[in-house]
Structure 1
Amino acid sequence: MRFNRPNEPASVPAKRRLKTKPLIVLLGILFATNVFWFFHWLLTDRSPALDTEEVASVAGEPITRAEWMAAMEQQVGRDVLEELVNHRVMEAAADEHGIKVTDKEVDLELALITSIDGQQHSGLNTEQTRKQIRSELILEKVLTKDVVIKESAIKKYFEQNETFFHVLPAYRTSVIISSTKKEAEQVYGEIKDGSTFSALAKERSIDLSSGNLGGDLGYVNDKTEDVDPKIIEAVEKLKKDEVSKPVALKNDTYAIITVLEKIKERDFTYSEVKDHIKRQLALEQLPESVSPEAFWKEFNAEWFYGKK
């Protein structure tokens, strides 16, 4: 994965910059899995009566849940199933090749992604995000297990890019944006009365981009662009899972804010990031990018859409 800061100095030699492909793959997995969980929610405890349930109507003509689900399956069903199969294939590959991914490794990748690459609007909770990072690590380890990287090359990269492994504090943040203070206070009261933050964000937030993700802004800090400084100021003071009172923003709107997770500022040592650097340099030696689909045949993966 590529973990350079957005304001990375121009003096860093271009040949030392690592590929962005693995991170892009991870973001794709995060998006597809988010859609998968939406499908899962729709289908859980489904009874035959739900198929004929009216979910919308036009000029008095109903649109049934069955029609809705069929359209959803046609549009995104293939991608969702593909990512689910890919996850299972990677787990099989880990077993086959004796590959282990520790919580400490996932912690490192999560810290680097969130603090150095900035916001990640995934809409997934922390557990789901960690699951996808694990799959990406398995893929990287399988691809690079036979690639030899000299110790001197690893040390040289660390010395030239040591500041990249200084992880800034980051806050997994969710917001509900209201147009007036009165509306924000009503939302705050509903949360205090037991309403779910994510559900209210989808229903009441006027910011559709975050509202559709249950209020998720991703991981933010004082280096994050396009987030109101008042939100950053608030999250730095909030405890994990604490909900703020209405916060006035610079565009005359108001925000209710909560912090789902905090990542502490720290400097990773050479020994802590050595395997990470070695793996990334090894990926640079591969002639082309490889996706989990390349392993389908090896593990006899089959799916509804026929041969891959």
Structure 2
Amino acid sequence: MLKRGLILLVSAVMIFSFLSCSKKPEQTGPAAVVNGEEISMEDFQTRLKQRLDFHRQTAEKVDEKSIREAVIQEMVSEKLLLAAAKEKGIEVTDEEVNKAIENYTKIQGKEKIDEYLKKWNISEEKFKEQVRAQLMINKLINELVPEDSIKEEDMKDYYKNAEKPFIKQARVEVKLIQVMSKEEADRIKGELEKKVDFEKIGERINKEKKGIVSDYGWVEPRLFTGEIGEALKNLKEGEVGGPYKGKDGYYFLKVRKREKEKPMTYEEAREQIKRILLNQRRQAMRAHLVEERKKKSKIVINVS
């Protein structure tokens, strides 16, 4: 019995020793140093966690080693680009930073921004610092590849040689009536069944201030979901549909005109092509600039 106990004890010590030796020690010091400028381990770990979090939500398998390498290389590239921007005397004002954050907040919503900062333990000042860095890099690349660098001949060649034609999506011109109460929606439905003109119903709604009447204009049905999306796809010119329940009340739609999907002319596709070419060239310039500066830089990476 004593012999068996000793064997178990020795086995336990061996297992513990193996686990202790195999566990990677926590890395300290900077994650990388680029020409004397440090990338902190804390900043690296935060961005790595963000990237892993994103990939785990969008992919079945996550190659953590590849993502670690991609993140540290991305952060090294940013250091090199920021240095290039400073050498060219590029600056970003506090006003520009605040404006960028304001625009981002309008798109994402303040709650999401606050949630993001809290989740990743990012202070307001740190966030502004990150925004300023991105704005500086963008200014640098935009200066090196300005909009007027895209020539008319380049855009025409791109249009002519595109593998697939540029498509103008199907769209409809819509007028809508929106009311809040089911009672008013039922009343409008009854009037439509009695063949009361949609325009007349709109005039009454405006006069009685019972809802909103809007010449909504041209829309692409593919951008809408649910009953309203189906109605926009299927209603013929001059037809009225509704009521459709939405989060802000009940809707009635009248399709005034309908245009089928068709290939774009060069003039219609011109701005889209310009954006594509500009983005391609700016991405290429960014990659080229990073590679050139890497050749002349002292870079020490401490994560693997």
Q: TM-score, normalised by structure 1?
A: 0.33
Select the structure of larger CA radius of gyration.
2
- Judging by fraction of residues, say which structure has more helix: 2
